[in-house]
Amino acid sequence: MNIDGTHYRSLWWNHEKAVLEIIDQRWLPHDFRIQAVATLQDFAAAIVQMRVRGAPLIGATAAYGMALAMRLDASDSHMDAAWDALNRTRPTAINLRWALNRCRNALRPLPEADRVDAALKLAHEIADEDVGINRSIGKNGLALIRQIAARKPAGEPVRLLTHCNAGWLATVDWGTATSPMYEAHDAGIPIHVWVDETRPRNQGALTAWELGSHGVPHTYIVDNAGGHLMQHGMVDMVIVGTDRTTRRGDVCNKIGTYLKALAARDNGVPFYVALPSPTIDWTVDDGVAGIPIEERDPMEVSHVQGALADGTIGHAQVSPNGSPCGNPAFDVTPNRLVTGLITERGVCEATPEALAAMFPDLSKIEKIA
């Protein structure tokens, strides 16, 4: 997307320096910093520390991490060591393991001398495919927004609500949940986006920053305002992203998504999930029982980051001294609460039959290596 007239992806390969460059998202929305990721340890740290975040972006980053690993040592043993190091970084988002498996399965049959170029080419392909998938999700989601707009008085905006950041910063470009919003705005359809702050890391601030940079009308709200807005008829549609989706359509997303789905169901508001196919885990049926939920550092709950009065970025403690904090990073929304899944191939119901029909070539996969 464009920032101050310059087009950025969330990551890109610097051919001159032979390193990956990323937008270090820890400092957004207050400071825009670019960082080179030059070692395998850096790749792992970038994912763990959420310099890069969002399931599709984590997957693309891991693919470039495998490419770097092959530059350092293209042996089978080093490939496996790199796979292990990167796979341990975050347990919930399935794109990470999907990308690592895709890389290892493609590289393993090749002679070591051919692996360096092949690995980098594959990482580029994975990144470019993500952009294409997200653009298609945007166009398919646009059709839903058009339908709502057609039922509203002329000039009245379609009011959307989103949770967490499923924007271009969470992918390589365009985003998942935000892609239909950008498409609608660019098509001249009036929209207004309610942006949940999304504690504890306040990823909604990234969404608000993105939307503001694109000129999309929006309002930043506290997490628990969504139900109130729905009760008063101020939300026409909820669109969220997903970090892992089961074969029956259960959706694992940022903590708090489940509560938004419950409020939407209670108030008759359609609840859609923007679903790139690499986030489907065909090996899991019941998301509540089968998806591991990452427990992150309690300090993310006890402290908040923000811009201080002197313009610097700092942290402030909000919890009482001595109070323990819990930090489950994700929750699971059962498929019964999901109105539909917006995929790169179209929109379908959140049922095993509908998902299998949408992706017959993928749904026969019995396990991920």
The active-site residue out of 130, 243, 281, 331 is 243
What is the bridge-based pairing of β-strands 330-333 and 251-254? antiparallel
CA distance 119 to 148: 44
Q: 3-class DSSP state for residue 346?
A: strand
Long-range contacts of 155-159 (CB under 8 A, 24+ apart): 155/190, 156/190, 157/190, 157/191, 157/192, 157/217, 158/184, 158/189, 158/190, 158/191, 158/192, 158/236, 158/237, 159/191, 159/192, 159/193, 159/194, 159/234, 159/235, 159/236, 159/237
Enter the tokens of residue 340: 């539909």
Q: Would the CA dihedral through 3, 7, 12, 15 be positive or negative?
A: negative
- CB-based contacts of 143, cutoff 8 Å, min separation 6: 347
Judging by beta carbons within 10 Å of its beta carbon (0-12, 13-18, 19+), is residue 150 exposed, middle or buried? Answer: exposed
CA distance 251 to 257: 9
Q: Helices in 151-218 by DSSP H: which ranges? A: 178-186, 204-214
Enter the tokens of residue 308: 């201080």
Are 338 and 271 in contact, with CB atoms under 8 Å apart?
yes
Q: By C-alpha distance, which of 69, 60, 73 is closest to 13?
A: 60
Q: Is 196 a catalytic residue?
A: no
Write out the catalytic residue numbers: 243
